[in-house]
């Protein structure tokens, strides 16, 4: 079962917060929807499919780094950690490292609580000896904290897949500062960061030939309809994914195929044909900038591992306190 992060009485507060966030984003001059809303149960499964696509290099490139340097990473981290898996999804990445890292406690955290619950139930059947404490929550918000059931000793935050790229650099620093505050004096982070590369590779990775990424992006409208009570017609929108070289990020948008009016309780908006809703950014870093970002948040990078093409980096950093 999932460990409740907040008392049941606070559930309505979370719903109201989502409603307010969506309402503000859809009314903004440049309409936007937070990428966290991409990950309902169907969205999480579609992302699993994206990770299997030949165009989507981050997952297999990162996995290759762990395959090549797993022993070194394990020696650097040491056994017996409290492994806190941020954005755990199906938990597969962390589970593949259990034999190497040998955590004392595994704490997967994900906004898609139902999907996470199913994943952890399967995982417990394979790893009976590891204590597992699943947490369903939105860890992108400013006020998140871990429940008391999470061990305070040797906390290792695991943040793979370059999800840090979904934040602007300023937001990323603030997020990492919040992680740092919960590390404890013997804690740290093991993070995957996608590195800058040629635009053609990035464009293909976020707009694949089969259209799986498009389905993933469009599904956010179904999720918003359920959460907000809106009436988006998914068929009237198209996926757009591309690398914005000036900003150093991949962007995902949804483009209105025709003029239309979307309504929801307490609000509405008219979209012109060709108007966009911004759904995700994915910033790409130079290795030196990635290390600098961690240092600004209070970490000291101890080791950096990359693939032969320098497309991706896995970094272990210790939390420093003065």
Asked if residue 35 lies in contact with residue 280, where contact means CB atoms within 8 angstroms, the answer is yes
Say what the pLDDT of residue 99 is.
Answer: 95
Whether the pLDDT of residue 10 is over 70: the answer is: no
Distances (CA, A) of 21 to 141, 153, 251: 11, 35, 20
Say what the pLDDT of residue 5 is.
Answer: 35
Written as six digits, the tokens of 157 are: 């935050």
Whether the pLDDT of residue 7 is over 50: the answer is: no
Q: Are residues 221 and 161 in the same domain?
A: no
Average pLDDT over residues 16-36: 96
Q: Are residues 292 and 260 in the same domain?
A: no
Beta bridge partners of 254: 239, 277
The structure's pTM equals 0.88
Q: Are residues 163 and 143 in the same domain?
A: yes
Q: Are residues 190 and 222 in the same domain?
A: no
Average pLDDT over residues 23-46: 95
Say what the pLDDT of residue 137 is.
Answer: 87
pLDDT range class, residue 11, cuts 50, 70, 90: low
Residue 141 lies in a domain: yes
Whether the pLDDT of residue 2 is over 70: the answer is: no
pLDDT range class, residue 75, cuts 50, 70, 90: very high
pLDDT tens, position by position, 195-204: 999 999 999 9
Residue 178 lies in a domain: yes
Asked if residue 314 lies in contact with residue 190, where contact means CB atoms within 8 angstroms, the answer is yes
Residue 252 lies in a domain: yes
Q: Are residues 265 and 304 in the same domain?
A: no
Residue 13 lies in a domain: no
pLDDT range class, residue 1, cuts 50, 70, 90: very low
Q: Are residues 62 and 91 in the same domain?
A: yes
SS3 33: coil
pLDDT tens, position by position, 95-124: 999 999 999 999 999 988 888 888 999 999
Average per-residue pLDDT for the chain? 93
pLDDT tens, position by position, 129-143: 999 999 988 888 788
Say what the pLDDT of residue 254 is.
Answer: 98
Say what the pLDDT of residue 113 is.
Answer: 82
Say what the pLDDT of residue 322 is.
Answer: 72
Residue 155 lies in a domain: yes
Q: Are residues 108 and 237 in the same domain?
A: no
CB atoms within 10 A of CB 8: 7
Residue 135 lies in a domain: yes
Say what the pLDDT of residue 264 is.
Answer: 98
CB atoms within 10 A of CB 289: 15
pLDDT tens, position by position, 153-165: 999 999 999 999 9
Q: Are residues 93 and 149 in the same domain?
A: yes
Beta bridge partners of 213: none
Nearest to 219 by CA among 251, 250, 243, 254: 254
Q: Are residues 92 and 181 in the same domain?
A: yes
Say what the pLDDT of residue 112 is.
Answer: 80
Q: Are residues 174 and 67 in the same domain?
A: yes
Domain with 68, as residue range(s), is: 57-197+285-319
Residue 72 lies in a domain: yes
CB atoms within 10 A of CB 258: 11
Q: How far apart are CA 314 and CA 304, in angstroms?
A: 6
Q: What is the CATH number of the domain that holds 122?
A: 3.40.50.150
Q: What b/e readout covers 182-206, taking b as 16+ CB neighbours within 10 angstroms?
A: bbbeebbbbbbbbbbbeeeebebbb
Radius of gyration of the chain (CA): 20
Say what the pLDDT of residue 65 is.
Answer: 98
pLDDT tens, position by position, 308-322: 999 999 999 999 987
Average pLDDT over residues 296-301: 93
Residue 98 lies in a domain: yes
More confident of the two residues 301 and 293: 293
Q: Are residues 271 and 301 in the same domain?
A: no
Q: Are residues 203 and 193 in the same domain?
A: no
Number of domains in the chain: 2
């Amino acid at each position: 079962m999932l460990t409740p992060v907040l008392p049941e009485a606070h559930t309505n507060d979370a719903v109201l917060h989502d409603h307010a966030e969506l309402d503000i984003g859809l009314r903004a001059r440049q309409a936007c929807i937070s990428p966290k809303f991409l990950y309902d149960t169907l969205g999480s499964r579609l992302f699993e499919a994206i990770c299997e696509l030949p165009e989507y290099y981050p997952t297999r490139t990162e996995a290759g780094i762990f395959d090549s340097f797993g022993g070194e990473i394990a020696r650097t981290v040491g056994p017996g950690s409290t492994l806190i898996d941020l954005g755990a999804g199906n938990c597969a990445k962390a589970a593949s490292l259990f034999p190497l890292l040998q955590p004392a406690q595994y704490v997967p955290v994900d906004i898609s609580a139902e999907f996470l619950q199913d994943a952890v139930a399967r995982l417990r059947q394979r790893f009976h000896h590891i204590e597992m404490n699943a947490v369903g929550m939105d860890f992108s918000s400013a006020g998140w904290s871990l429940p008391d059931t999470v061990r305070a000793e040797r906390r290792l935050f695991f943040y793979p897949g370059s999800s840090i790229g979904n934040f602007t650099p300023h937001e990323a620093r603030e997020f990492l500062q919040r992680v740092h505050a919960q590390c404890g004096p013997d804690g740290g982070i093991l993070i995957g960061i996608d590195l800058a590369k040629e635009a053609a590779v990035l464009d293909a990775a976020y707009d694949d030939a089969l259209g799986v990424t498009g389905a993933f992006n469009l599904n956010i409208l179904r999720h918003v309809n359920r959460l907000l009570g809106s009436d988006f017609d998914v068929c009237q929108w198209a996926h757009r994914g591309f690398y914005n070289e000036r900003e150093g990020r991949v962007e995902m948008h949804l483009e209105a195929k025709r003029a239309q009016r979307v309504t929801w309780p307490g609000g509405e908006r008219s979209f012109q044909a060709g108007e966009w809703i911004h759904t995700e950014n994915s910033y790409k870093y130079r290795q030196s900038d990635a290390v600098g970002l961690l240092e600004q948040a209070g970490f000291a990078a101890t080791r950096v591992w990359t693939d032969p093409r320098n497309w991706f980096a896995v970094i272990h950093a210790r939390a420093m306190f003065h």
